[in-house]
Structure 1
Amino acid sequence: MAPAYSNYACIFISTLFMFMLASSRADAAAATSTAILINVDQSGNGDYKKIQDAIDAVPSNNNELVFILVKPGVYNEKIVVPVDKPFITISGSKPNEVIITWNDSGNIFESPTVTVLASDFVARYLTIQNTFGPGAKAVALRVSGDRASFFGCRMLSYQDTLLDDTGRHYYKNCYIEGAVDFIFGNAASLYEKCHLHSLSEGDAAITAQRRESPSENTGFTFLGCKITGVRTAVLGRPWGAYSRVVFAFTYMSNVILPQGWDDWGDLSKQSTVFYREYKCYGPGANARKGLNGRES
């Protein structure tokens, strides 16, 4: 990576790091401050048996911290956090014990198992999955609110797992699994210490970032992450002409193909996208020139 690009990547990471600190404080506040506590328990020993019922109980234009504690179980629900219900935290105790699951496909805005439209949202220790499998777009999680944070969560699907749509988002210690464009959208997001697992059997892309203009302050940064997979994949392809993705200090297994990136069949995008790797390591982190100068 040329020094100028190295500096640019560091500035981008630093900006998102400041957002990460703010998000961490918001999460801590939601967990420890005086908040409205709602218990969800399928056995009937809580306030509600369904997560959506607990969300529906939060008043419109909410301005108080609401902490929804979900007891272990498999919750077969299609969940929406409306735009007029900010300041909600949904928390399990362990991600493999609280599973929110649905089976839907088709439209990326209608198929998600969980849709977050509200701002100042936090999710902790949950599994969110779409079990549709190969053959169609099947989103597990859509995040379209601002200042959303996810801690220790698992997002599972095959195609288009995580629609990281719009807003500023932070993901820490999350496990994200899929095969085709399984992290996509046009948010400004930081992924810290996340595990990305590709189910691709060939050259499918992990990311498809949709920045469409050089004036948009959006992009994905992966910091201290880990990439594994079942066969081979590329790091990303440009859904938008000015797609921007940075991997820094990330372990890449040999699942990543030598070319690293794909131009989605449009050579013109090679001069407008910003795809960089900074001090990544592992057998898939070869310092080779590819799309727009793939070079660590």
Structure 2
Amino acid sequence: MFAHTSSSPLPSGHSDAETATLATASNRISFYNINFINSDNLDGLEASYVTLAASIYGNDIGFYGCAFEGWQDTLLTGATAGYQYYESCYISGAIDFIWGYSKSYFKGCTIGAKKAKSAMTAQSRASASAIGGYIFDQTLFTSATDATVDLTGTVYLGRPYSAYALVVVKNSYLDDIINPSGWKVWSATDPRTDHTTFAEFANVGPGAWQNNVAARQAFGNATLLTSDTYSLASVMDNTAWIDSTYWNSIVTPEPAVVNTTAPNNVTVSGSSSYNGTVPPTGAIIVSKNAIDGMTTYDTIQAALNAAPTSSKTNATIFIYPGTYNEQLIVNKSGTTIFMGYSDSTDDYSKNQVTIQQSYGEDTQGTGSDVDAATVYATGNYFYAYNVNFRNNNGTQQNIASLGFAVKSSKYAFMHGCQIYGNQDTLYISGNMFTFKTYIEGNVDFIFGAGSGYFLNSTISPNEDGDSITAAKRATNTTAAGFVFDQCTIVPAAGSSGFKNVSLGRPWNNFARVLYAGCYLDGSVGSAGWTQWSKSSPQTDGVTFAEYHNYGPGSSTCKRASFSEQLSDSDAAQFQLANFFPTTSWIDFSVVDVQPFTAGFGSAPAACVSSSSSSSSMLSTISSTSSSSVTLPLVTTQVTTTIIQKATTFTTLTQGDITSTSVTYVTENDGLTVTPPAVLKTSIIKATSVLTSTTTK
């Protein structure tokens, strides 16, 4: 393996090619089983930072079983009159990561993308008769093995580096990361598509032409070939220099199949109890009071301003006790860490550091909800330990008062924290993991289109009748949503009498939320979940799921029809190891509760049947099921009087049985309540034996 750290941007007078791990201008040279890696900016934390793994300027150069790994511009095929051959190679990157001018043939390779909305290739030719171009044969186009974001439908096969670009993809597997249009222009103002050749032939996979015909045709600058006119012999100068030993035995790579039904999951062995009173070495200190022998800042913003700007150096900010009245945007491109002074790190209720402000954003206005966030994490990675994030804005209707927000494609980790707000307390557009953390609010107070995993945390509504979550996803296959794992759902301190809290409502039809192994207090309504609104339910494609919850609010007997109770195999997709593309950003050193694994716990008690004694029953419908399942019998003493209209009718249909009647109800519980007549329609589910007696 060759590894290299480059310097980019380069000083004036130097070229991108100088950043390459391998650079060659030789002719007739072959490389076998070598990995070429440019480790600088490999995770793309620094924007517009070119890091090449290889710069190939020679002629008749072959690579067999090699790997090229970088971020932007990974592989440069630099010779305008050169020929190159790549067999069974792995090439990964983010932006135009196979680019240049040579005629290059890729056979049995895997091309791995890392960044959404980017192109894999950027090819250039000086004219239609110039030598250059890329031909991909039996190649897999998929996510890179170290991709950290969901790329479904967001990556393009190529864009034209010049107006004569030529890229052909044939006999290949196009994974679901490929955007339906397949290809893209160079830019909106400079499309460069006048003379391009973007062509496809006999490909398979969800991203292939035949599965995205309308979008490919709408792009208008790509062609579906009816025959293969780009054979190796026809596009190379000659084939004598190519090692064809394995040519006939090459099999087109396909994406690895992930077994989401297996119970395997992350195993943790950390400790949430540690010394939280001593700043780590190199930390920037924030304190309300001066401390002998230490350089301190009296605001967190001042500490952020003093933090190193390099994405390769963590900014660790240790905060001594106090309430800090600030509104912060944490935008460092690398990693920022907030550590609150704490002598009880495993107990958020004993936190001694609070960041707060009081500002709300009108959700019906033209502004953005995130403008109201007390702390908005827009940098790549944000970590917080034993810090309270509070927005003290009031409970006005349609006013968002966020305590915390994390931006799209970014990562936030919290341990032992508290987040307070009202409507829209916590916004997740990126990725977030919380452990032993408290979150409080009311209307849709955990919301967004990102991915949030809440482990052993407490979720507390401070108003009845509201929804805890409002999730949405871009598509029904987007790996996003919210998972509440072994959490406690209870009203906020000082609240009482709640009976109709909703676990979630769908911000769009692809909302995805799971509560697994959670304690659901009696404040959770019997339906469990609610629609977005009466006029726009948005429940058609939602995943509103529960798995082995317990507590008075966990009964499944009257759950909303668009919710579901998961089986073990269905629950496996929500395991922590499967939920995020990678868990490498989670600080497991402080996590000491094992995330749920499919098969843990037990389902809530089955719904029970009941019998009632009736003082007067003018219409009786009795049914007997042919099922062999016997449920426990519970007897309740209810006095019920049912009075039918003069035009009484009873409609019986094999399958569902519908009874329409007008009723009065008297309950003998020490008080007699006789409400006005109510027209009631009841459904008795399908039966195999039906006996009916009707008296007018």
Please give the TM-score of this superposition, normalised by the length of structure 1: 0.85
Q: Confirm or deny that 1:282 pairs with 2:551.
A: yes
Q: In the alignment, is the contact (CA less than 8 A) between 1:180 and 1:206 conserved in 2?
A: yes
- Residue 99 of structure 1 corresponds to 354
- Residue 323 of structure 2 corresponds to 74
- Residue 452 of structure 2 corresponds to 189
Q: In the alignment, is the contact (CA less than 8 A) between 1:133 and 1:159 conserved in 2?
A: no
Report the Cα distance in structure 1 between the residues aligned to 2:541 and 2:311, rounded to whole angstroms: 41
1:192-271 residue pairs with structure 2 within 5 A? 192-201=455-464, 203-229=465-491, 230=495, 231=498, 232-265=500-533, 269-271=538-540
**What SS class does the counterpart of residue 109 from structure 1 fall into?**
helix
One-letter code aligned to 1:207: T
One-letter code aligned to 1:40: V
Q: In the alignment, is the contact (CA less than 8 A) between 2:308 and 2:315 conserved in 1?
A: no
Offset of 1:189 from its aligned partner? 1.7
Offset of 1:62 from its aligned partner? 2.4
- Residue 285 of structure 2 corresponds to 39
Report the Cα distance in structure 2 between the residues aligned to 1:240 and 1:57, rounded to whole angstroms: 41
Offset of 1:88 from its aligned partner? 1.4
Q: In the alignment, is the contact (CA less than 8 A) between 1:181 and 1:206 conserved in 2?
A: yes
Report the Cα distance in structure 1 between the residues aligned to 2:262 and 2:540, rounded to whole angstroms: 22
Q: In the alignment, is the contact (CA less than 8 A) between 1:184 and 1:209 conserved in 2?
A: yes
Q: In the alignment, is the contact (CA less than 8 A) between 2:402 and 2:427 conserved in 1?
A: yes
Offset of 1:268 from its aligned partner? 5.8
**What SS class does the counterpart of residue 539 from structure 2 fall into?**
helix
Report the Cα distance in structure 2 between the residues aligned to 1:97 and 1:14, rounded to whole angstroms: 39
One-letter code aligned to 2:425: T
Q: Confirm or deny that 1:293 pairs with 2:293.
A: no
- Residue 7 of structure 1 corresponds to none
Report the Cα distance in structure 2 between the residues aligned to 1:227 and 1:218, rounded to whole angstroms: 22
- Structure 2 residue aligned with 1:121, among 382, 385, 410? 382
Offset of 1:92 from its aligned partner? 0.6
Q: Deviations over 1:108-132 (max 9, x none)?
A: 1201111101122110001100000
Report the Cα distance in structure 1 between the residues aligned to 2:321 and 2:261, rounded to whole angstroms: 38
Q: Which runs of 5+ in 1 are unaligned?
A: 1-9
Q: In the alignment, is the contact (CA less than 8 A) between 1:260 and 1:294 conserved in 2?
A: no
Q: Deviations over 1:171-206 (max 9, x none)?
A: 0000000111111111112100000011122x2100
- Residue 401 of structure 2 corresponds to 138
**What SS class does the counterpart of residue 89 from structure 1 fall into?**
strand
Q: Confirm or deny that 1:87 pairs with 2:354.
A: no
One-letter code aligned to 2:511: S
Offset of 1:55 from its aligned partner? 1.2
Q: In the alignment, is the contact (CA less than 8 A) between 2:445 and 2:468 conserved in 1?
A: yes
Report the Cα distance in structure 1 between the residues aligned to 2:372 and 2:384, rounded to whole angstroms: 19
Q: How many residues align?
A: 277
- Structure 2 residue aligned with 1:110, among 353, 357, 371? 371
Q: In the alignment, is the contact (CA less than 8 A) between 1:119 and 1:146 conserved in 2?
A: yes
- Residue 198 of structure 2 corresponds to none
- Residue 149 of structure 1 corresponds to 413
**What SS class does the counterpart of residue 260 from structure 1 fall into?**
coil
Cα distance change on mapping 1:254 and 1:80 into 2, 3 Å: same
Please give the TM-score of this superposition, normalised by the length of structure 2: 0.38
- Structure 2 residue aligned with 1:176, among 418, 436, 439? 439
Cα distance change on mapping 1:43 and 1:14 into 2, 3 Å: farther
Q: In the alignment, is the contact (CA less than 8 A) between 1:177 and 1:199 conserved in 2?
A: yes
Select the structure of larger CA radius of gyration: 2
Report the Cα distance in structure 2 between the residues aligned to 1:268 and 1:103, rounded to whole angstroms: 33
**What SS class does the counterpart of residue 490 from structure 2 fall into?**
strand
Offset of 1:270 from its aligned partner? 2.2
Report the Cα distance in structure 1 between the residues aligned to 2:308 and 2:263, rounded to whole angstroms: 36
Q: Deviations over 1:79-103 (max 9, x none)?
A: 111152x211101123531010100
Q: In the alignment, is the contact (CA less than 8 A) between 2:529 and 2:563 conserved in 1?
A: no
Cα distance change on mapping 1:11 and 1:155 into 2, 3 Å: farther
Q: Confirm or deny that 1:50 pairs with 2:306.
A: no
**What SS class does the counterpart of residue 538 from structure 2 fall into?**
helix
Report the Cα distance in structure 1 between the residues aligned to 2:405 and 2:261, rounded to whole angstroms: 23
One-letter code aligned to 1:88: T
Report the Cα distance in structure 2 between the residues aligned to 1:87 and 1:13, rounded to whole angstroms: 33
One-letter code aligned to 1:248: A
